[in-house]
Amino acid sequence: MGLTGPLSTSETGRPIHIEKIALDFPELKIVCGHIGYPWHVEMIAFATKFPNVYIDTSAYKSKRYPQELVEYMKKHGKHKVLFGSNYPMITPKACLADLESLGLTDEVRECFLTSNAKKVFALE
């Protein structure tokens, strides 16, 4: 989700395209990468609306997370956001360098870094 890196259209990266897939395949777990930026507020709306839609933070360092995403993580979206890096372009260590500045509780941090992915990918 979100803008493409290459010089090509980003239209296919708009979160609105997820709605039909989420409706047609309610058992399919859909993890939308790259926060959905600059349509991250729409992405949050779809993750809230559909139980099978999730957001990952790949391609973003924690200090660049949009404030709306951070607030969503702290409140009703704590089980809907998964950590992602952009390895090898951005290492996990670099992505997490400023995580403490987000003010996440221990519970939210654990969900974000571990338990949400375990649940979504059936790793437990």
121 token code pair: 């990918």
Amino acid at 70: V
* Bridge partners, residue 82, by sequence: 56
Helix 40-49 crosses helix 16-24 at what angle (to 10 degrees)? 20
Crossing angle of helices 40-49 and 67-74, in 10° steps, is 20
pLDDT tens, position by position, 56-79: 999 999 999 999 999 999 999 999
* Total domains present in the chain: 1
pLDDT (tens digit per residue) in 1-37:
998 888 889 998 999 999 999 999 999 999 999 999 9
Q: What is the pLDDT of residue 4?
A: 84
Q: What's the CATH number where 111 sits? A: 3.20.20.140
- Which structural domain range is residue 58 located in? 11-120
Residue pair 84/57 in contact by the 8 Å Cβ criterion: yes
Show the tokens assigned to 22: 């989420």
The pTM score is: 0.95
Could you give the percent of the chain with pLDDT greater than 70? 100
Residue 118 has pLDDT above 80, yes or no: yes
**Confidence at residue 103, expressed as pLDDT on a 0 to 100 scale:** 98
User: Is residue 84 included in any domain, yes or no?
Assistant: yes
CA 33/CA 112 separation, integer angstroms? 14
Asked if the structure places residue 42 within a domain, the reply is yes
* Residue 102: inside a domain: yes
* Residue 104 maps to a domain: yes
